[in-house]
Structure formats: C-alpha cells, structure tokens
C-alpha cells in the first residue's frame, strides 16, 4: 500500500479540520525544529497511530517518508498521507514552525561537524607538519563514502547504541504520546512526550544538570568525538 502525497497547504487544511500530523524524525530533530501540534513518532518505533482522523506523516525533506511509505501505511488505521517536501516545503510555503535553538543539534549533524573538522585537521597537519597526516583525511573520507553507499554510519550507530532507550510511544485518538512500556528509570509522573535521556554510562547526573552544559549546541554527554 502506498500513501498519497499532499501539499503543505492541503496538509494544513486537514490538520485544521482535526487531522493528526505525525513527525517521523528523531526526537532530537523534533525538539530543535517542529511544526506546531505535530506528534513525534520516530521512524522505526513499534507504534501505531490509533485514530479515525486523517493522518499526515512528514520528515525533513520528504525522503524518509517516501522511502518508508509502506511501513507508515501499516502504522495508520485511517486515511493517511505524506507531506510532500516535508518540513522544508512547509517552511517554504510560509507556514509556522517552532524553533528552539537551545536544543542540541541532531546526531547526524554532530557527526558531520566532527568529520569535517577531522578532514580539515588532517589536511592542515599534512601540509604544515608531516605528510602522513593526510591519511587521517583519507580515512575519514573513506568512512563517509562507505556511509553514503551503505546507509550505515558507524559513529552515529555507536552514538545511538550508547544512548538510553526511551519509552515506546503510541497514539490514542487525537491525544498525545502514551508509552507502551516505560524504562526502569522513568517515574510514573514523568511526561510521556519528553525526549529520551541520551546520557551514556560515563556521565554522572551532576554533569547533566540544567545550566551545566559547556557546549550549548551539543548534548550534555558529547565529548566532541563524533
């Protein structure tokens, strides 16, 4: 089963009439920039959108929704669509978005920044110090080429593996997120729509308190290695 694509204006009319807008991007991407009222259902989560209202799925540019249309169609038990062009098209149409620059940038962008920095460092050290440092840039370039061809990025996968797994979300009617299961560290009073705790084992709670982050655009546990 495939899903039909609709324009941002058509999606806006559906949502205004009671439709459900579902953002399939990661929670970090959703926290930093999102469409007002959109529910976050990260791609790969074992969830269903249980509502009789029309459902509109979106990602950043439309690539992820189009590539996973069959999976998304099974996740909805009602009329469902894909937002053509995703969040980028929504913004180009002049429709409102919520931007929170205090949130950390997503993992993929962190990897891109780190990889670019290492390539530049290798070139500079190779030119000014020893030619052997060019090998660093070559290795990073080979890794990025492999990631692009295979669709698997080792640094991002390792980063995600070290991250704590949050509750599995599901949608009940037009309401918000409700966890299908809760991790042992969550409290009953915790908000079910809160982002996952991405702190790995080597970060103590005292290092992740509000206001203690030395790098505001990175997660509290980011050591700048990826």
Find where tokens 């593996």 sit.
161
User: Do the beta carbons of residue 221 and residue 200 sit within 8 Å?
Assistant: yes
The residues facing 57 across adjacent strands are: 22, 82
- Please state the domain extents for the chain: 4-99
CATH topology of domain 4-99: Oxidized Rhodanese; domain 1 (3.40.250)
Alpha-carbon distance of 43 to 34, in angstroms, equals 15
Q: What is the mean pLDDT of each run of 10 residues along the chain (226 residues)?
A: 90 96 92 94 80 94 92 91 97 96 77 90 94 94 85 68 49 41 35 40 35 38 35
Its pTM surpasses 0.75: no
- Per-residue pLDDT at 110: 77
> Which residues belong to the active site?
59
- Per-residue pLDDT at 46: 65
- Per-residue pLDDT at 160: 60
Structure tokens given for 134: 């060019």
């Amino acid at each position: 089963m495939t899903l039909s694509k609709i324009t941002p204006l058509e999606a806006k009319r559906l949502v205004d009439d009671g439709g459900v807008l579902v953002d399939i991007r990661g929670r970090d991407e959703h926290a930093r920039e999102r469409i007002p009222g959109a529910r976050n259902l990260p791609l790969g989560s074992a969830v269903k959108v249980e509502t009789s209202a029309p459902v509109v799925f979106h990602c950043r540019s439309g690539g992820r929704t189009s590539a996973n249309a069959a999976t998304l169609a099974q996740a909805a038990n009602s009329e469902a669509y894909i937002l053509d062009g995703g969040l980028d098209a929504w913004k180009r149409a002049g429709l409102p978005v919520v931007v929170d620059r205090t949130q950390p940038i997503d993992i993929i962008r962190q990897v891109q920044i780190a990889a670019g920095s290492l390539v530049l460092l290798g070139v500079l050290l190779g030119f000014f110090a020893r030619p052997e440092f060019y090998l660093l840039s070559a290795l990073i370039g080979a890794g990025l080429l492999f990631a692009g061809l295979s669709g698997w990025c080792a640094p991002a996968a390792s980063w995600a593996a070290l991250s704590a797994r949050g509750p599995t979300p599901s949608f009940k009617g037009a309401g918000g997120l409700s966890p299908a299961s809760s991790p042992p560290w969550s409290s009953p009073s915790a908000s079910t729509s809160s982002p996952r705790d991405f702190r790995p084992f080597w970060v103590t709670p005292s290092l992740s308190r509000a206001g203690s982050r030395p790098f505001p655009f990175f997660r509290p546990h980011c050591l700048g290695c990826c």
